[in-house]
Amino acid sequence: MGDVLDDMYNGQTPSRNKSEYWNGNIKWLSSGELNRGTVYDSIEMITEDGQKSANLRIVPKGTFIMAITGLEAAGTRGNCALLGFDTTLNQSCMALFPKKDLLTSDFLFQWYRKVGEEYGLNYTQGTKQQSYNAELIKILPISLPSVAEQKKIASYLSHIDHLITLHQRKLPFTRILRKYTKITKETTQMSELERILEEKLIEQLVYGDSQWTYRKDLKTEEDLWENFKYILEQNNKDRLNGEPLSDTEFEQVKNQLQFSSFYKAGEWLVGENGKVQVHVQRDTERLHLVVMNHEHIAGGSSVYEVINQYEALKSDEDAGISERDRRFDVTLLINGLPMIHIELKNKQHSYMEAFRQIKKYIGEGKFTGIFSAVQMFVVSNGVDTRYFAAASDTELNEKFMSGWVDRENKPVSDYLDFAKSVLRIPEAHEMIARYTVLDKDAKRLILLRPYQIHAIESIREASKTTKSGYVWHTTGSGKTLTSYKATRNLLMDIPSIDKAIFLIDRRDLDTQTTMAFQAYANNDSIDVDETSNVTDLKNKLKSGDRQVIVTTIQKLQILISKRIIEDTPEYRKIKNLKIAFVVDECHRAVTPKTKRELEHFFGRSLWYGFTGTPRFPENPYPQLGDLPRTTKDLYGECLHKYTIQNAIHDNAVLGFQVEHNGPKQITDETDTSAYDNEAHMLKVLDVILNKSYYKLGFQNGKGETYEGLLTTSSIQLAQKYYDLLLRVKKGETSLKIDERIRQVLPDFPKFAITYSVTENEEGSHVNQQKMQRSLDEYNRMFGTKYELSQIQSYNGNLNKRLARKDAKFKSRNEQLDLVIVVDRLLTGFDAPCLSTIFIDRQPMGPHDLIQAFSRTNRIFNRNKTYGQIVTFQAPKLFRKSVDDAVKLYSAGSTGSTFVADWEEVEPAFRKALAALRISAETPDEIADMSLKEKKVFVKIFQNFDRLFAQLKSFTKYEDSMLEEYCITQKEYEDYAGYYQNAMEEIRIANGDGKDQPGDDETQPADLDYELMAYSNTKIDYEYIINLIQNIVTPDEDSEDSSPEERQKRIDEVKQYVCELQKTNSKVAKIMTDLIYEIEMDDRKFRGKSILNIMEKMKYDCIDKVVSDFCTTWYASKEDVMYAAMHYRNGKIPNESVIKDTINYAEYKAAQEKPLPKFKYNRRCIEELGKILDEEIKPLINIA
């Protein structure tokens, strides 16, 4: 402590033998009067002579005083006080005077109150009378937060002290102690641990030959703007003619850097030809100033700086929404602009806390101004590190966070190792400039995952030595995005390459891939062009433009075989092109025969294949002369591998739940006659329509349900299913749709059919009629106008509707529930909201099985936990085929690929239910449990809930089974309600929201766990919020941004709010008010978070209700507000505190006919319970 003290002083006692020294007018304080609070008077007084005789100093008000003798007594040990008056001291009191820039007296007082008794035992000397001296005090350990944080902490604890004095009680002592413990820990050891993490990270970044420079001086937005201005001027001296930017000119620059979204910042950062610019009008001249040059990575004009402890201040606009200023951990600047922001927690905390902190800061508007340029976030607790693309608080999804792995897919979790791999230069700048993709359709940033980057780098290295090869990345891991970047980088990085051609194998399969490429390339510095016909392809190859061409193998074959004449200039020009071919789905896109023909023609070509299911010796191409039979033989070495096991382990894709529902009694499972009848088809549809409630996400609520595919063996059978579904929906069959399905989606199922043209080349008149009928039905559902001649456009629209990436298709009115297919969409189609594939056909080959399965396991939201597969034929054959396929494509193991089946889950559920009943036989018992017992209950209930959710996802599950299990849905919901109360208590008790070491001998509860089997109106609320957000944040480039479309969306929101009115009129009323304001003028909501606005409106309603109650009953607003914000079901959180603080005297004085006191107390609590249930609970529990 000596390092943070300016001075120490202890007093003396004037001689007791001289009466003239005593009973004067100078205060004299002894250690027995220290009260561990603020002391305002002394028992004894001395005279001026007494003061002079003992050479006593007057110690000023506000000084911290500690007892230094007599510490062998527990009552004295740790005694201290703050002076509330000027005084002298006796020899048992020591005054400490801290260095003002390091330590405040208020914080010192609050800290010593916590540790004083312990220190008195461990650091004092002597036996009979233990005491401190100045030297001992100097060595007392103290860990400090910043002075600003010290002031906040001391102010908080001082406020609590004031309440205790005011209420003349110590009732909330345990709550105070928990809060106190939390803050003390965080500001001593935990803040110290996080500070050490921060210091080590900065040291790592600036160490050795790193180009990062630590800028300790940059702490405020003003500092950052000044620094940015300096770098901008230094990099543009010629353009500025040596004349610095004036204040007015720099305001022009700042205005251009106030981005409304991180995506808009990303659009700007693409620049033109790698140069990112701002524009300044100087007199009559328009200056184009280069902010960043992506050709100057790790050199040239690039400046790399690190800052920490940036002060993000609360703006006036945030008042009422954001309660406080914030302090950021570490931020990386490129040319003065914040590009990568890092939040750290110590290892006793989860990195998820840092994620939620960032989400909170974004919602509070802290990432505005110069910080609106941020593109990437990193969170870590030192031992576990994740990164993710910047997005709004409502769009951030923890499922899209990524860890780092090396080229062998070994995790790199330690934050310093992560920094070495990702945050050093040039890697950090490359992540922003090369490996960030802008998805135009979804209006979001995408940061490539590590395996994608390693694959692209591997291709780059191979191309430099003119080697071909292939990339094995499991289906669902983002191959289209990887192949886009690989194709783009080949063209940009290898000057000798004339064209980069992305090859797809079928005409109507290329729709989604082409759209994806164009969405990615929209803001890129290269052209991506699809070829509408063979002539178009020929013209693009003849042109001198270096471009990426997306085309089909069929067009290319026709071109070289029929459309160019040998030995003509045109022929020679195309034949001599140096082309890099990137082949999507290379396991089947280009046959060995076709590839040999193309290689013969394009003699200077490089070939890079992408596949999730390579051809191995176990599943080779058919024997055809000396042609290659495996992917390795066809393309060369595997340049990078990322298997399904790797992807599931890294949470890049989901595992699978497989159900084999085919008849078990059939001897010959290859005999398909048993399935070719309407009875079988109705059984299949019954599973899809009535027994897939959880598979299709009905628990999520309207607009948030998932989609399914039904695949059959032939077009004829697909059409039969389509016709049968129409009859079912019209009520013309014995199969009826359950009421609980209709309650969520009255229009369920909305379905369509699609198949490749090549599957129906003969195209009978009957088939054409059926397709036209299905097109008519589709047009009726969605207001489109497709005809038979527009099948390709129809397929494109269907793809986009299934993918739901455009804001338009997030609306229930624009969604499909089921699509019937043969082979189309089973390969290369990406729709994260597609959860289930229903397979009514014989087992396919291993590569086709894995491809089909992988349509379902894209990460989407927290409720989608795995891809769902349901088969309806040949259960034994299917089980073996699936096992063989997964072993082949996951290095011989099925380990984490499949979740447990019914036979495992159902007994485990029974055991979990038994454990739950032992912990709490009925939900009512939970309220009276001790905290330790509640922690045990929470862990048991989490396990039960997890298994219950799994059980519900099986088609075998029916709600009627609960009777057999001796539990009702209401009981489960009651358990869930008490569980949420218990979780809240545990969080408060732990202070920092985590179980502390030593709380329990067993594994602590997961305090980040969200109930999986429980659903409520929260989902509908969030869905409506997102719809409103899309209204106020329209896509200006979209064809759907017309006033008519805007009004259509507003009307749809109104319809949903009317439905919400039935279950939550309070929130519906607030939404109605907000929608009215948006209709009047939506410009004032542009760029703002609708979720935050709604939360503020809800809080204002709660505040008014609480204020009115407190005015009526003369209650403490703070105590009632605490009860309101923590209320769940039935029990008022701090009822006893409120009873002690309500002021009957004031109430009585203000009333003409006051209630008697006992009735007043009872009525007050009754009325509070009523408003909590009727007014507050609907606003609190909705989100």
Residue 1037: predicted pLDDT: 54
- Whether the Cβ atoms of residue 518 and residue 651 lie closer than 8 Å to each other: no
Domain 448-642 CATH superfamily: P-loop containing nucleotide triphosphate hydrolases (3.40.50.300)
Would the pLDDT of 999 be above 60? no
Q: Which listed CATH number (3.40.50.300, 1.10.486.10, 3.20.20.140, 3.30.420.140) goes with 664-695+704-885?
A: 3.40.50.300
Please, where in the chain does CATH 3.90.220.20 lie?
2-142
Q: Is it the case that residue 895 has pLDDT exceeding 70? A: no
pLDDT > 70? residue 518? no
Domain 2-142: CATH superfamily is DNA methylase specificity domains (3.90.220.20)
Q: At what angle do helices 1065-1080 and 1090-1113 cross, to 10 degrees?
A: 130
The torsion angles phi and psi of 1019, rounded to 5 degrees, stand at: -65, -45
From 210, 234, 587, 647, select the one nearest 402 (Cα to Cα). 647
| Topology of the domain covering 903-990 | Methane Monooxygenase Hydroxylase; Chain G, domain 1 (1.20.58)
Question: What pLDDT was estimated at residue 978?
Answer: 87
The residues pairing with 10 across neighbouring beta strands, listed in sequence order, are: 94
- Pick from 804, 828, 830, 829: nearest CA to 816: 804
What value does the CA radius of gyration of the chain take, rounded to a whole number of Å? 35
Helix (H, G, I), strand (E, B) or coil at 622: coil
Name residue 462's amino acid: A
Mean pLDDT within 102-123: 84
| pLDDT tens-digit series, residues 312-340 | 876 544 444 445 678 899 999 999 999 99
pLDDT at residue 410, rounded to an integer: 92
Tens of pLDDT, residue by residue over 635-680, are 999 999 999 888 888 888 899 999 999 888 888 888 888 898 999 9
- The letter for the amino acid at 716 is Q
Q: What is the DSSP letter of 318?
A: G
CB contact at 8 A, 502 and 485: no
Instruction: Report d(CA 749, CA 729) in Å as an integer.
Output: 8
Flag whether pLDDT at 998 surpasses 50. no
Calculate mean pLDDT across residues 586-600: 89
Q: Are 1113 and 1164 in contact (CB under 8 A)?
A: yes
Q: Are strands 385-389 and 404-405 parallel, antiparallel or unpaired?
A: unpaired
Instruction: Supply the pLDDT for residue 323.
Output: 53
Kind and range of the H or E run holding 338: strand 337-344
Residue 842 has pLDDT above 60, yes or no: yes
Start-end of CATH 3.40.50.300 domains in the chain? 448-642, 664-695+704-885
For residue 746, say if its preceding peptide bond is cis, omega within 30 degrees of 0. Answer: no
Residues 504, 673 contacting (CB under 8 angstroms): no
With a cut of 50, say whether residue 492 has pLDDT above it.
Answer: yes
Of 1138, 1128, 1140, 1070, the residue nearest 1104 (C-alpha): 1070
Residue reference for tokens 């305090």: 1007
Per-residue confidence at 499, pLDDT binned at 50, 70, 90? very high
CATH 3.90.1570.50 domain range(s) in the chain: 212-439
Cα dihedral 673→679→683→689 (10° resolution): 120
Q: Would you state the CATH architecture of domain 212-439?
A: Alpha-Beta Complex (3.90)
- Grade residue 1076 by pLDDT with cuts at 50, 70 and 90: very high
Share of the chain above pLDDT 70, in %: 88
Burial classification of residue 517, based on how many CB atoms lie within 10 Å of its CB (0-12 exposed, 13-18 middle, 19 or more buried): buried
Average confidence (pLDDT) over 1012-1028 = 72
Q: Mean pLDDT throughout 1130-1141? A: 83
Give yes or no for residue 990 having a pLDDT over 90. Answer: no
Q: Are 621 and 627 in contact (CB under 8 A)?
A: yes
The answer to whether the CB of 80 falls within 8 A of the CB of 67 is yes
* Res 1002 pLDDT > 60: no
Judge whether residue 174 has pLDDT over 90: no
Half-sphere exposure of 501 (CA within 13 A, CB side): 25
Q: Where in the chain is the domain with CATH 1.20.58.910?
A: 903-990
CA distance 347 to 356: 16
pLDDT the model gives residue 165: 42
Confidence of residue 995 (pLDDT cuts 50, 70, 90): very low
Closest CA to 1074 of 1049, 1055, 1057, 1052: 1057
Give me the mean pLDDT over the 756-766 stretch.
57
**Is 50 exceeded by the pLDDT of residue 170?**
no
How would residue 1181 be classed by pLDDT, with cut points 50, 70 and 90? low
Number of helices followed by number of strands (H, E) in the chain: 42, 35
| CA distance linking residue 570 with residue 575, whole number of Å | 8
d(CA 19, CA 365): 67
Query: Going by C-beta distance under 8 Å and a sequence separation of 6 or more, which residues neighbour residue 749?
Result: 688, 689, 725, 729, 737, 817, 818
70 by Cβ neighbours in 10 Å (0-12 / 13-18 / 19+) ranks as: middle
Greater model confidence, 587 or 125: 587
Predicted pLDDT of residue 1038: 55
Give the 3-state secondary structure of residue 711.
strand
pLDDT at res. 997: 36
Top mean-pLDDT range of 26-40, 178-192, 1101-1115: 1101-1115
Q: Please, which pLDDT band fits residue 177 given cuts at 50, 70 and 90?
A: very low
Q: What is residue 1137's predicted lDDT score, i.e. its pLDDT?
A: 85
Model confidence at 1047: pLDDT above 60: yes
- Tell me the mean pLDDT in the region 718-729: 96
Q: Return the number of other C-beta atoms located less than 10 Å from residue 612's C-beta.
A: 25
Six token digits for residue 21? 């020294």
Give residue 191's pLDDT.
60
Q: What is the phi-psi region of residue 892: left when phi exceeds 0, alpha when psi lies from -120 to 50, beta otherwise?
A: left
How does residue 373 score in pLDDT terms, banded at 50, 70 and 90? very high
Per-residue pLDDT tens digits for 228-270? 999 999 999 999 998 999 999 999 999 999 998 999 999 999 8
Residue 145: is the preceding peptide bond cis (ω within 30°)?
Answer: no
3-state SS class at 817: coil
Tokens read off for 620: 């080779």
